[in-house]
């Protein structure tokens, strides 16, 4: 709300420089967005008026706040043209068909000569950011700015039947508004009509056909109160916001229209624009009365944490126009109808606090009456994972929760993706079904900026139609798998770097992982280097196994789409945290380290090169050798010296008994069983 | 050389020459060559001089003989010492060059927004707050209606909302799996515009007194620019109890900003939020200039940092609390805003680019 200082000073003797006034009002709830100096002794102060204070979208509203803040008297509007209200009038009649939507409508007629308005008026309008048009329209705008009552002027000759009907629009009714646009109205919209057709959209904008123009000699002035919700809905539906609509939709003062009309008629006369006939038809079928609220002294102290002297309470509220009557516990307060924001006791306490100053409130602490609860385990877990993964060399990324449809598509089935109804742009059109599109984009940005080796992770939520919101952790790794060092050759990241990280994360949550090849993986993974991660509890075995995520090499074409150049391979993984976290042990029974030595035995076998290492491991485990403590592949070799289609696999088996030192014969026996089983199951030949 | 006669200056010159060259001899071989040059039986310069002693008168012979002998011993001792020093400086067999660069293990860095978030969580955990997360996809009731923003409320325009194309399963709130009944499970229809939505879920589940902090991501239909992103992170604080006051709010906020920014003052300015009454914007005195006015605070001495207020009784009523018995305060603060002020970041988008060179300047954990 741009307020011209000299205009403000017609209502209150605001002291000091505009900056001082602005600084004081900022601490009363009216932040200053800017001050524009006009010459030496005038200025425009642009106050930010919060949405709950339509009464301050006017000079007098701001003046009342200034008067309260500086403890100065407030003057009433200077000149009024007294109007006699009549029930019927020959020259204009008003019929309200929808009193719910229009509780009050006043109309008055004036004879006018269209001309530019006087300079002083034009200057004030301009200062407030309103473009002057003609003396009549300028007067209505002047009243709007000064008192906060939106008004409208119709050309009397264009009001058919000399009758104003406030009614809802007829289905399909069309009105060309002042801005020249033809608008189709719907039956929930309130219009101002003459005997035949709509001439204005109530509270929003007038019609072009009934507009005051150069030849207009008689006008009908409208000053009304419209239902805020109705105006808001109409304005929204039409996509049409005006100075009038923003005030009506927040709530104007239902008891202001007649005063505003008298002010307008006085200004009309003063500016030489014309003369009011002297009567007004004021229909007020739904009278809106002031409410009375109880304000308890004790409640003020309880809410603010400090007590405010009675005299101060009374001063502040009376200066703002509230009427106070003493009651047992405090006051009975009559609320002016302009104060649409004050509907409960707490609203009055805010008024008192606002003007007695928030800085007077002391600083204390809320008493702790119960033991603090432990931190949300979900947050604790995310913190630990963050530390763990950062320790593995990954930097944490934070990416948006939405992405472009094309970016999401390789990561989820089309029907699983959740679209946003009103996206800001194509780039943010769907909720991310995976953290990976954003992570890969981030990696791509780094690579394009010359960072060759990039390791990023993110912890966050992904969204799908079926599962809703799912917390997960995801990684992308491109560039060196082993950093450059003078002592050895570097190498690019590979599949087993990626799975190592997956195992580390799962292990930290007490889960063990098993990888199952995906021969037809989702589009974002390369077939042949893609696996499903299946987790199970450390102690519970594979019976409890659940799929928790995917790992593999990023499909280069998907990387390209997301801006990650395809020259270097990139590996990605994503794991759902919650199913993994279920494996965390809630209690742990520690064991002492084994007392007896273990024995290692290595064997090398020839098997088909399509035989999965996992199946060989399963075969050995299937023997259920009691003292087998460990099993690990330590070499895999194919090529020269190995028959076509075969591969040499070397296994190290570790044997240990908890209660004695194993004999060579025992171990040899077990190894014999292993070799036999591998031969039977896999046709393995020992080398 | 044979014409040389031993005199004091010749002897002194030899000594000086030897000392300079010994200091420069960096290897065993060089030291030995040098020693030979002075002492070798055939051509050592000291040896040659000694050979001329016979030509001298007995007095001079004795005198210069003693001087030359002492020079010879001196040289022998110095050579021995030098050889020992060289041996001591030589790396032992199999020694590595310790000055070669270490193997660099990549070090990851926690995102600065998460570092700020953890710091805030810790500040409030110490003050006895429950820290928990809520769902990012929400329904109209939790995000708006229960927060005193019924349908068509003008304040809904203050937060331009992103809606889902079709409802998806609503989260039960994600936190405390098993520990909390599914208060209000509704199909999610929008992206939450503030973490305040979680206030409602919590209050519907637990009776007062409560004190919670809810960090998390929130969404608004804002374009990307220097100070806006369509997704950002907030934390919401809520304290409810018997007689919790605005003075308690002020004391709590001052503790928080002091922990975050050092010795700064706070200032509350009246404002408007539908879910608090009274409502206040909170400024801190500029931590850069101490309130004197600078570029960071646009010469005002103050920085706007968060929104706060006393919980509106309508919110208590929406969750079934007795609004005449309990009072409470709430506040919400943008994590990006704190991080920008703390680290002097002028473009919020840097936090979402994830350029590792940006990320790596913050402490690694």
- ipTM for the predicted complex comes to 0.89
Q: Same domain, yes or no, for A38 and A112?
A: no
Does residue A334 sit in the same domain as residue A445? Answer: no
Q: Residue A542 pLDDT more than 80?
A: no
Q: Dihedral angle at the C-alpha atoms of A671, A674, A675, A678, nearest 10 degrees?
A: -160
Q: Using an 8 Å CB-CB cutoff, list chain B residues near A367.
A: 241
**Residue A130 CA: distances (Å) to CA of A30, A63, B66, B134, B250:** 21, 20, 115, 46, 41
Cβ of A79 under 8 Å from any chain B Cβ?
no
State the alpha helices, DSSP H only, in B131-245.
140-143, 197-205
Please report, for the domain that includes residue A27, its CATH number.
3.30.56.10
d(CA B270, CA B283): 11
In terms of C-beta density within 10 A (0-12 exposed, 13-18 middle, 19 or more buried), how is residue B241 classed? buried
What pLDDT score does A651 carry? 94
A84-91 contacts at long range (C-beta below 8 A, 24 or more positions apart):
A84/A278, A84/A279, A84/A280, A85/A258, A85/A279, A85/A280, A85/A281, A85/A282, A86/A279, A86/A280, A86/A281, A87/A281, A88/A281, A89/A279, A89/A281, A90/A162, A91/A156, A91/A162, A91/A277
Gap between the Cα atoms of A413 and A410, Å rounded? 8
Buried b (16+ CB within 10 A) or exposed e, B173-207: bbbbeeebeebbeeebbbbbbbbbbbbbbbbbbbe
Query: Residues A657-666: pLDDT tens digits?
Result: 999 999 999 9
Looking at residue A258, what is its pLDDT? Answer: 96
From the list A302, A358, A377, which residue is nearest B245 (CB)? Answer: A302
* pLDDT at residue A88 in the model: 77
Do A246 and A108 sit in the same domain of this protein? yes
8 Å CB contact of A420 and B163: yes
Please report the pLDDT score of residue B317 as a whole number.
94
Kindly state the average pLDDT of the residues A78-93.
86
Closest CB from A358, A471, A487 relative to B280:
A358
Taking the CA of residue B44 as centre, how many other CA atoms within 13 Å lie in the half-sphere pointing to its CB?
A: 19
Q: Is the dihedral of CA A128, A131, A132, A134 positive or negative?
A: negative
Percent of chain B with pLDDT over 70: 94
A510: phi > 0 → left, psi -120 to 50 → alpha, else beta; which?
left
Query: What gap in Å lies between CA B268 and CA B302, rounded to an integer?
Result: 11
pLDDT of residue B1: 42
Q: What is the pLDDT of residue A158?
A: 92
Asked if residue A151 belongs to a domain, the reply is: yes
CA B139 – CA B142 distance, rounded (Å): 6
The H or E element containing residue A13 is none
Residue B180's pLDDT band, with cuts at 50, 70 and 90, is very low
The CATH number linked to A204 is 3.50.40.10
CA distance B141 to B186: 9
Considering CB atoms only, which of A354, A363, A469 is closest to B251?
A363
Counting Cβ atoms within 10 Å, is residue A493 exposed (0-12), middle (13-18) or buried (19+)? Answer: buried
- Three-state SS for B128? coil
Per-residue pLDDT band at B2 (split at 50, 70, 90) = very low
Structure tokens at A160: 């058919």
Q: Do residues A452 and A483 touch, judged by C-beta distance below 8 A? A: no
* Rounded Cα–Cα distance for residues B237 and B227 (Å): 23
Give the pLDDT score at B3.
47
Residue B356 has pLDDT above 90, yes or no: yes
Strand pairing partners for A37? A43
In sequence order, the 6+-apart residues with CB closer than 8 A to the CB of B48 are B1, B2, B4
Measured CA to CA, the distance from residue B69 to residue B47 in angstroms comes to 10
Measured between CB atoms, which of A53, A366, A395 is closest to B239?
A366
Question: Is the per-residue pLDDT at B139 higher than 50?
Answer: yes
Distance from CA of B100 to the nearest CA of A (A): 8
| Residue pointed to by tokens 């009216």 | A30
From the list A354, A399, A422, the residue facing B162 with the nearest CB is A422
Q: Is residue A370 part of a domain?
A: no
What percent of chain A lies above the pLDDT cut of 90? 84
DSSP code for A650: E
> Which residues, in sequence order, are CB contacts of B281 under 8 Å at separation 6+?
A31, B268, B269, B270, B271, B304, B306, B307, B308
* A99 inside domain: yes
In B227-275, the DSSP E strands lie at: 231-241, 266-273
- For A128-133, the CB contacts below 8 A with 24+ separation are A128/A2, A128/A3, A128/A4, A128/A44, A129/A2, A130/A243
A415 and A474 belong to one structural domain: yes
Query: Do A481 and A494 contact (CB within 8 A), yes or no?
Result: yes
* Optimal mutation site among A396, A421, A580, interface B, most CBs of chain B within 10 A: A396
**B12, containing H or E segment:** helix B8-24
Instruction: Give CA–CA dist A676/A623, Å, rounded.
Output: 11
Closest to A190 measured CA to CA, from A259, A245, A148, A147: A245
Q: How far is A110 from chain B (nearest CA, A)?
A: 36
Query: Does B159 score more than 70 pLDDT?
Result: no
Tell me if A465 and B168 make a contact (CB, 8 A cut-off).
Answer: yes
Rounded Cα–Cα distance for residues B275 and A621 (Å): 62
**A444 and A332 both lie in a single domain:** no
- Tell me how far apart the alpha carbons of residues A576 and A459 are, in angstroms, rounded to a whole number: 10
A–B: how many Cβ contacts below 8 A? Answer: 284
User: Which residues touch A11 (CB under 8 Å, ≥6 apart)?
Assistant: A59, A60, A63, A64, A67, A74, A75, A77
What is the SS3 string spanning A208-268?
A: CCCCCCCCCCEEEEEEEECCHHHHHHHHHHHCCCCHHHHHHHHCCCCCCHHHHHHHHHHHH
Can the peptide bond before residue B209 be classed as cis, meaning omega within 30 degrees of 0?
Answer: yes
Distance from CA of B87 to the nearest CA of A (A): 28
Do residue A336 and residue A462 come from a single domain?
A: no
Q: Which of A326, A298, A299, A302 is nearest to A314 (CA)?
A: A326
Mean pLDDT across chain A: 93
Do A383 and A252 share a structural domain?
A: no
B246–chain A nearest CA distance, Å: 5
Highest mean pLDDT among A375-384, A551-560, A641-650: A551-560
**Buried b / exposed e along A355-389 (16+ C-beta atoms within 10 A):** bbebeebeebebeeeeeebebbbbbebbbebbebb
Q: What is the DSSP string of A393-461?
A: TPEE----SEE-HHHHGGGS-GGG--BBSS-SSGGG-EE-SSSHHHHHHHHHHHHHTT---EEEEEEEE
Distance from CA of B103 to the nearest CA of A (A): 6
Task: Identify whether the C-beta of residue A495 lies closer than 8 Å to the C-beta of residue A570.
Answer: no
DSSP summary character for residue A55: G
Q: Tell me what pLDDT residue B157 has.
A: 72
| Res B179: pLDDT | 47
Per the structure, the count of domains in chain A is 5
Q: What pairs with residue A477 in β-bridges?
A: A455, A571
Chain A residues closer than 8 Å to B229 by CB: 400
> Per-residue confidence at B176, pLDDT binned at 50, 70, 90?
very low
Do A122 and A63 share a domain, yes or no?
A: no
User: Which residues in chain A are closer than 8 Å to B171, comparing Cβ atoms?
Assistant: 468-469
Taking CA atoms, what residue in A is nearest to B128? A372
Q: Is B232 in contact with B335 (CB distance < 8 Å)?
A: yes
- Check whether residue A409 and residue A538 sit in a common domain: yes
A391 Cβ under 8 Å from any chain B Cβ: yes
Q: pLDDT band at B5, cuts 50/70/90?
A: low
Q: Which of A553, A581, A609 is the last residue of a domain?
A: A581
Contact A306 B271 (CB under 8 A): no
Can you say how many angstroms the Cα of residue A659 is from the centroid of all Cα atoms in its chain? 64
Same-domain check for residues A164 and A230 = yes
Residues A279 and A297 in one domain: no
Question: Tens of pLDDT along B83-128?
Answer: 999 988 888 888 888 899 998 888 899 999 999 999 999 999 989 9
- Rounded CA separation A63/A53 (Å): 13
Strands of the sheet with A323-326, listed across from one edge: A291-296, A330-335, A323-326
Q: Do A364 and B245 touch (CB under 8 A)?
A: yes
- What is B112-359's CATH number? 3.30.930.10
Q: Does residue A380 carry a pLDDT above 80?
A: yes
Closest CA to A534 of A504, A511, A510, A501: A511
Domain end, chosen from A581, A615, A633, is at: A581
- A28 and A104 belong to one structural domain: no
A186 falls within a domain: yes
Name the residue range of residue A628's domain. Answer: 599-686
Q: What tens digit of pLDDT does each residue of A221-279 get?
A: 999 999 999 999 999 999 999 999 999 999 999 999 999 999 999 999 998 889 999 99
Q: Give A543 to chain B, closest Cα distance, Å.
A: 23
Are B108 and A455 a contacting pair at CB < 8 A? yes
**Above 70 in pLDDT, residue B183?**
no
pLDDT value at position A435?
97
């Amino acid at each position: 709300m741009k307020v011209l200082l000299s205009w403000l000073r017609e209502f209150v003797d605001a002291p000091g420089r505009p900056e001082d006034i602005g600084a004081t009002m900022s601490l009363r709830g009216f932040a200053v967005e800017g001050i524009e100096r006009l010459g030496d002794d005038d200025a425009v102060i642009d106050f930010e008026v919060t949405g709950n204070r339509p009464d301050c979208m006017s000079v007098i509203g701001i003046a009342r706040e200034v008067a309260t803040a500086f403890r100065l008297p407030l003057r009433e509007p200077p000149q009024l043209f007294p109007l006699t209200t009549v029930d019927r009038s020959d020259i204009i009649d008003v019929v309200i068909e929808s009193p719910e939507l229009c509780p009050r409508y006043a109309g008055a007629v004036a004879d006018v000569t269209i001309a530019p308005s006087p300079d002083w008026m034009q200057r004030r309008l301009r200062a407030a950011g309103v473009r002057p048009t003609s003396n009549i329209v300028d007067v209505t705008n002047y009243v709007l700015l000064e008192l906060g009552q939106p008004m409208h002027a119709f050309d009397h000759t264009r009001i058919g039947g000399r009758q104003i009907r406030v009614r809802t629009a007829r289905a399909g009714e069309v009105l060309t508004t002042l801005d020249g646009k033809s608008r189709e109205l719907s039956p929930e919209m309130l219009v101002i009509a003459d005997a035949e057709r709509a001439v204005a959209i109530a509270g929003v904008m007038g019609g072009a056909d009934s507009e005051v123009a150069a030849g207009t000699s008689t006008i009908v002035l409208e000053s009304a109160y419209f239902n805020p919700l109705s105006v808001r809905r109409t304005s929204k539906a039409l996509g049409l916001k005006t100075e009038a609509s923003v005030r009506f939709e927040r709530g104007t003062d239902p008891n202001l229209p007649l005063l505003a009309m008298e002010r307008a008629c006085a200004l009309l006369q003063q500016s030489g624009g014309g003369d009011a006939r002297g009567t007004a038809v004021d229909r007020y079928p739904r009278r809106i009365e002031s409410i009375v609220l109880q304000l308890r002294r004790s409640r003020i102290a309880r809410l603010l944490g400090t007590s405010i002297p009675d005299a101060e309470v009374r001063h502040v509220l009376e200066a703002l126009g509230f009427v106070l009557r003493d009651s047992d516990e405090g006051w009975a307060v009559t609320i002016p109808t302009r104060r649409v924001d004050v509907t409960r006791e707490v609203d009055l306490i805010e008024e008192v606090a606002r003007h007695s100053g928030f800085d007077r409130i002391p600083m204390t602490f809320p008493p702790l009456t119960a033991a603090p609860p432990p931190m949300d385990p979900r947050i604790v877990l995310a913190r630990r994972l963050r530390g763990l993964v950062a320790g593995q060399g990954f930097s944490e990324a934070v990416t948006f929760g939405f992405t472009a449809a094309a970016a999401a598509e390789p990561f989820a089935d089309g029907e699983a993706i959740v679209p946003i109804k009103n996206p800001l742009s194509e780039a943010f059109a769907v909720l991310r079904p995976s953290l990976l599109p954003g992570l890969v984009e981030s990696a791509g940005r780094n690579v394009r900026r010359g960072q060759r080796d990039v390791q990023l992770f993110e912890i966050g939520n992904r969204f799908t139609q079926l599962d809703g919101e799912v917390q997960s952790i995801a990684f992308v790794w491109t560039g060196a798998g082993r950093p450059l060092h003078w002592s050895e050759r570097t190498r690019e990241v590979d599949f087993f770097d990626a799975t190592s990280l997956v195992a580390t994360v799962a292990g930290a949550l007490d889960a063990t992982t098993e990888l199952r090849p995906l021969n037809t993986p989702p589009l974002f993974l390369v077939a042949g280097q893609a696996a499903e991660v299946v987790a199970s509890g450390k102690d519970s075995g594979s019976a409890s196994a659940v799929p928790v995520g995917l790992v593999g090499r990023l499909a280069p074409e998907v990387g390209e789409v997301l801006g990650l150049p395809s020259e270097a391979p990139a590996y990605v993984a994503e794991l759902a945290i919650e199913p993994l976290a279920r494996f965390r042990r809630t209690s742990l029974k520690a064991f002492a380290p084994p007392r007896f030595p273990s024995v290692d035995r290595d064997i090398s076998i020839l098997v088909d090169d399509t035989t999965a290492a996992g199946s060989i491991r399963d075969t050995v485990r299937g023997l259920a050798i009691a003292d087998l403590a460990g099993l690990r592949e330590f070499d895999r070799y194919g090529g020269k010296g190995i028959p076509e289609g075969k591969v040499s696999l070397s296994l190290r088996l570790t044997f240990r008994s908890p209660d004695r030192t194993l004999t060579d014969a025992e171990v040899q026996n077990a190894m014999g069983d292993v070799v036999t089983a591998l031969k039977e199951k896999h046709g393995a030949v020992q080398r | 050389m044979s014409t040389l006669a031993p005199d004091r200056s010749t002897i002194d010159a030899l000594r000086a020459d030897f000392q300079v060259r010994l200091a420069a001899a960096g290897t065993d071989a060089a030291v030995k060559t040098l020693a030979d040059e002075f002492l070798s039986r055939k051509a050592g310069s000291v040896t040659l001089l000694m050979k001329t002693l016979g030509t001298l008168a007995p007095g001079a012979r004795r005198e210069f003989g003693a001087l030359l002998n002492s020079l010879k011993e001196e040289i022998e001792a110095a050579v021995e010492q030098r050889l020992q020093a060289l041996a001591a400086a030589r790396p032992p067999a199999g020694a590595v060059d310790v000055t070669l660069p270490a193997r660099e293990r990549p070090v990851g860095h926690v995102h600065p927004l998460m570092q700020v978030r953890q710091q805030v969580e810790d500040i409030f955990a110490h003050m006895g707050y429950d820290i928990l997360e809520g769902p990012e996809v929400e329904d109209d009731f939790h995000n708006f209606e229960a927060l005193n923003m019924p349908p068509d409320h003008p304040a809904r325009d203050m937060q331009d909302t992103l809606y889902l194309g079709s409802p998806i399963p609503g989260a039960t709130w994600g936190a405390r799996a098993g520990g909390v009944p599914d208060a209000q499970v509704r199909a999610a229809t929008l992206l939450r515009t503030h973490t305040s939505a979680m206030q409602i879920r919590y209050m519907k589940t637990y009776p007062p007194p409560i004190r919670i902090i809810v960090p998390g991501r929130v969404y608004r239909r804002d374009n990307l620019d220097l100070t806006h992103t369509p997704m950002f992170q907030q934390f919401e604080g809520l304290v409810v109890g018997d007689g919790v006051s605005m003075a308690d709010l002020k004391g709590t906020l001052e503790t928080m900003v002091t922990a975050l920014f050092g010795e700064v003052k706070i200032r509350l300015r009246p404002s408007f939020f539908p879910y608090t009454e009274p409502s206040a914007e909170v400024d801190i005195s500029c931590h850069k200039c101490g309130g004197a006015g600078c570029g960071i605070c646009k010469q005002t001495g103050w920085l706007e940092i968060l929104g706060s207020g006393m919980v509106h009784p309508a919110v208590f009523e929406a969750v079934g609390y007795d609004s005449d018995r309990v009072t409470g305060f709430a506040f919400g603060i943008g994590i990006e805003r704190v991080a920008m002020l703390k680290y002097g970041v002028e473009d919020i988008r840097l936090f979402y680019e994830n350029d590792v060179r940006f990320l790596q300047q913050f402490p690694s954990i």
